[in-house]
Structure 1
């Protein structure tokens, strides 16, 4: 069952495009963090003290980069999941079926749909 996609897209399409962009940005940020972590490891193995490593590390710290990536992915993923659930409901898929598809509870889908301003039924 395929539904026509409006010419200007829809909220789920936009959310998916944003998720893809976020994944790309995150991969690049993680690549940079990995390079920096490798340098820290090499410096430590060369005998530098932890205090010296930590005080010399420029911002954002490796751990800050990782935290930023995780937060960005969580936000974009949540938006995508919410918009995808709403899109499925617009296609007359039941909340119970959406819950099974997403591997979550019916209550979680209802909460997502409420966030989206969509009424949750069946």
Structure 2
């Protein structure tokens, strides 16, 4: 595959974006884990949960986790949609794509329609 073609490939762009999001999420999760350890240490000293949580700086650990999950869902959905479209463009059957993804053929059909409309997964 040539470099020009690769740069124009929507699946490559989606995968590249997913990798960027994964890197960011790993950093955020490492920070959340470190903060969670501190919360656990505070709890083990006998502090009340209300005191611990109200003293925690924002974003809260739970907010960080929710943010990471939303980012992964968005980037992962875009990658799945573009990957399904790329496979279909290579004449891979919907049934085979569904088997590879571990979903129903109806879900793959929906992914292909969503991608055609430009809608999020």
Q: TM-score if structure 2 supplies the norm length?
A: 0.90
- 2:71 aligned with 1:34, yes or no? no
**1:49-103, Cα deviation, whole Å (9 max, x unpaired):** 1111011011000001001101111111110000000000111111111111111
Secondary structure, aligned partner of 1:47: coil
CA RMSD of aligned residues (A): 1.3
Of residues 78-87 and 94-103 in structure 1, the stretch that sits farther from structure 2 once superposed is 94-103
Match of 1:96 in 2: 95
Alpha-carbon shift at residue 7 of structure 1 (Å) = 4.5
Residues 3-54 of structure 1, C-alpha deviations (whole Å, 9 max, x = no match) = x351424100000001111111111000000010000111111121111101
TM-score (normalizing by structure 1): 0.90
Matched, 1:81 2:71: no
Residues 1:40 and 1:25: Cα distance change in structure 2 (over 3 Å) = same
Q: 1:28 to 1:101 in 2, by over 3 A?
A: same
Partner Cα distance (2:94, 2:27) in 1: 36
**Following TM superposition, where does structure 1 have runs of at least 4 consecutive aligned residues deviating by more than 4 angstroms?**
none
How many angstroms apart in 2 are the aligned matches of 1:117 and 1:79? 12
- Higher helix proportion: 2
1:93 alignment partner, SS class: coil
Aligned length: 115
Gaps of 5+ in 1: none
* Structure 2 Cα separation of the partners of residues 62 and 7 of structure 1: 38
| 3-state SS of 1:79 partner | helix
